[in-house]
Structure formats: C-alpha cells, structure tokens
C-alpha cells in the first residue's frame, strides 16, 4: 500500500518530526514550506503558503494519483504578538491566510484524490479552545481551524476520510522559544505550567499525529496533547 503524507511546514519543529514518522512507516512524504526539510527522502515543494496564488500553482503541479491513501497534515502556522489594540486588517488577514485559508485551499484541491482510509490532520493548539492575551490573531486562527475541522469531518465522511485537530500544549520548537523567550527562566516557566514539569517533544506530538492519521475511530475530535496543563 502506498501512503502519501502531504505536510505543510515540515522544514522544522513538529512538522519535521511528523515527516520523520511517516518516512519511518514507509510513506512518501511531501513538504510544503518556504525552506526545505533536510530529511533524506522528503520531497520539497517550496511554497509561501500565505501567497495563495503561489499555493494554487504548486498544487496544480502535484501528481496526486497512484497513492492508495493520502494523509494531509496542516501544520504550518504563524504566531506573532498582537492585541485588540494593535492588530490591523492587513496583519490579521496575513495570519488567517496562512493558518486557516491555505489549509482549506489544499483540502479543496487534494480531497478529490483521497481514497477511503485517507485522513486530514489539522494542527490546533491549546489556544483552539482557550484565549490568552497578546496573541489575538493566532488564538482566532486556531479557533477557526477547529471549526474548519468539524465542518470538514461531516463533509468527507461519505468518502471514508477521517479528520481531527491535534492540539499541543508547550512543545519544544522554534515557535515556542520565539513566543515565550529564549532565557532559561522563560523555559522554566513554560515547563512549570505543565503537570509533568517538562515541555512536549516534537517527536511525541508526531507520534500522536501518526496514530490519528491511521485510526478512523478518531474522527471530528479535538485531541489535547499538553502533558496536563495547570
């Protein structure tokens, strides 16, 4: 059986760990991001996902036939500081384009090629269901993605495609370090916010993503993976 994993943002972090997991399972792995994934075997399709015209052109160039199952992993995202006092339309639209609209355009293009048993995994966040101050566009985008997942679930079930939203807590990646700060005390604070007293690793989130992609009983669910949040 040939499995294709089409992953956005596999150049680093959770997406790269997921690429490694799908490769280990014998899958074909394609990455869509601006910089390449360095893992041997990953096919890179360079793309700035916030440029929807470029994304459409890249999608049109993909050969999606010949796979018995496809997993789509909508992982690429942008998180930057903004508030209700500072966020303007242009910046809000930029974040929503990358975090919410690009996944939908990819779904629209790829779903017709997806056979029974295929899956669509959305990367949410604790902030898909909780608000924090200071990341308004990101919080809004992650809530929106949960809505896209729930509606998509009901629409693709007839094709035996399953979907879910994996919602990590603090995971040790560049995005986290840029969000919370690079100082040892910043990381210590993040570790202290979890019951287990540590950050999640990209690899353990990738394992959950892989499990969800292979198990149709997980369908329409929001799965929190946060080591227990205080």
Ligand X SMILES: NC(=O)c1ccc[n+]([C@@H]2O[C@H](COP(=O)([O-])OP(=O)(O)OC[C@H]3O[C@@H](n4cnc5c(N)ncnc54)[C@H](OP(=O)(O)O)[C@@H]3O)[C@@H](O)[C@H]2O)c1
Which of 4, 5, 6, 14 lies at the binding interface for ligand X (CB under 6 A)? 14
Which of 4, 121, 175, 218 lies at the binding interface for ligand X (CB under 6 A)? 175
- 152 lies in the site for ligand X, by CB under 6 A: no
Burial of 98 (0-12, 13-18, 19+ CB in 10 A): buried
Which of 50, 118, 119, 213 lies at the binding interface for ligand X (CB under 6 A)? 50
Q: How many residues bind ligand X (CB under 6 A)?
A: 29
Residues 169-190: b if buried by 16+ CB within 10 A, e if exposed: bbbbbebbeebeeeeeeebeeb
Burial of 195 (0-12, 13-18, 19+ CB in 10 A): exposed
- 97 lies in the site for ligand X, by CB under 6 A: no
- 118 lies in the site for ligand X, by CB under 6 A: no
Stretch of residues binding ligand X (CB under 6 A), selected from 11-19, 20-28, 58-66, 206-214: 11-19
- 136 lies in the site for ligand X, by CB under 6 A: no
Q: Least Å distance between CB 3 and ligand X?
A: 21
CA–CA separation, 104 and 152 (whole Å) = 9
- 123 lies in the site for ligand X, by CB under 6 A: yes
Pick 48 or 159: Cβ nearer ligand X: 48
Question: What number of CA atoms fall less than 13 Å from residue 160's CA on the CB side?
Answer: 7
Spatial contact of 6 and 106, defined as CB atoms under 8 Å apart: yes
């Amino acid at each position: 059986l040939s499995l294709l994993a089409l992953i956005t943002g596999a150049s680093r972090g959770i997406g790269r760990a997921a690429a490694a997991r799908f490769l280990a399972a014998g899958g074909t792995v394609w990455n869509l991001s601006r910089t390449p994934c360095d893992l041997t075997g990953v096919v890179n399709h360079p793309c700035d996902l916030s440029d929807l015209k470029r994304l459409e052109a890249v999608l049109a160039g993909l050969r999606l036939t010949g796979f018995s199952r496809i997993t789509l992993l909508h992982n690429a995202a942008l998180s930057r500081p903004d508030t209700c006092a500072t966020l303007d339309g242009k910046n809000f639209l930029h974040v929503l384009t990358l975090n919410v609209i690009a996944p939908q355009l990819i779904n629209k293009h790829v779903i017709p090629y997806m056979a029974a048993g295929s899956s669509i995994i959305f990367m949410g966040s604790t902030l898909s269901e909780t608000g924090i101050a200071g990341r308004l566009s990101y919080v809004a985008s992650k809530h929106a993605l949960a809505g896209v997942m729930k509606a998509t679930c009901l629409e693709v079930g007839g094709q035996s495609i399953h979907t879910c939203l994996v919602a990590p807590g603090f995971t040790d990646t560049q995005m986290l370090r840029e969000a919370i700060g690079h100082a040892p005390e910043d990381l210590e604070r993040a570790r202290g916010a979890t019951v287990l007293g540590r950050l999640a690793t990209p690899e353990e989130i990738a394992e959950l993503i892989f499990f969800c992609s292979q198990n149709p009983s997980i369908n329409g669910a929001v799965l929190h993976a946060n080591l227990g949040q205080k």
